[in-house]
Amino acid sequence: MSQSSVEKVLIIGSGPAGWTAAVYAARANLNPVAYIGFAKQDPGPVLPGGQLMLTTEVENYPGFPKGVTGPELMQHFQEQAERFGTRVVGEEITRCEFSSDPAKDPHRLHTSEGVVVRAHAVILATGAVANWIGLPNEMRLARSGGGVSACAVCDGALPGFRNKPLAVVGGGDTAMEEATYLTKFGSTVYVIHRRDSLRASKIMQERFLGRPNAKVLWNKQVVDVLGDQMIEGVTLEDTVTKERSRLDVGGLFVAIGHTPATKFLADSGVELDGSGYIALKQRSSYTNLPGVFAAGDVADSHYRQAVTAAGMGCIAALDAERWLAAVGVD
């Protein structure tokens, strides 16, 4: 790609939002290019394909009545985008210089290979990284489909978790929401919290604690995840006495938050909310900067589902197409 060329639409990210935006932009003859390289940020890299690359069975995405694996679903997305002409670059965008008048003075984007790419419209779809405890066997089982997950709504209804004791790590509203959802399926749902009180709102606490199969383990932290092919239990350490114990569970759900992949936007001028997610204008994908749009989990701290991310990717592509027409970029 020549440094002197100017892209009409450049997409950063390769999850459901990025690929859907690419499909719509390509079908609109906008000749989009997608940069899908790793986003190197704490607490870990954003994989090409997004969080679905850590999900074995996806049963709640429409059109797959028998389910589909996360990596397979993302492969379908990419193939569809490429079928309509999306160009794919396996590099990372490391820094953004956004223009105040990108129709005449295109945005300048710096890649991990030292190339400066210019574009009239940019769609930010880099997603968010689930925060993990950081234990070696936790990550191994999460990647292999061994009963460790960071999304109860995504995975909790799978047959492998039904009628088994399940554990949720966390103490905020997200943990309470995840744990309450799991009480529909698990025999007992344990919330493991390192303190003696929850951070979640009272109404969320009451909603969980009101379930007959709900239980909170206070002053406990997970220090090991047990099991070879599938999780068999966790080792707990008391945060006060340091005493260790074993809890047998058939599933572990880590609900200690997400980190949006927005570090590469530092000093770019893109407005972020208090949690670091990209702030959008109501009912649109428009950011505070002209010609800069956002879609998916990088701008959604609430739903974080593949289908909602895909919908946001559609919106971003349509908004970008209409913006380009309005400013006279053919």
**Which residues are bridge partners to 124 per DSSP?**
12, 294
Catalytic annotation on 300?
no
What angle do helix axes 16-27 and 306-327 make, rounded to 10 degrees? 40
Q: Residue 131 gets which letter from DSSP?
A: P
Catalytic residue among 154, 297, 300, 319: 154
Catalytic annotation on 154?
yes
Catalytic residue among 96, 151, 300, 319: 151
196, two tokens: 């003696």
Distance, CA of 160 to CA of 146 (rounded, Å):
10
Give phi and psi for 234, each to the nearest 5: -135, 150
Distance, CA of 206 to CA of 224 (rounded, Å):
29
| Amino acid, single-letter form, for residue 150 | A
Distance, CA of 174 to CA of 179 (rounded, Å):
8
Catalytic residue among 42, 96, 101, 155: 155
| Amino acid, single-letter form, for residue 290 | P
Cβ-based neighbour number of residue 244 at 10 Å: 12
CB 212 within 8 A of CB 201: no
Q: Give residue 60's Cα distance to chain centre.
A: 16
Catalytic annotation on 314?
no
Q: List, by residue number, the catalytic residues.
A: 151, 154-155
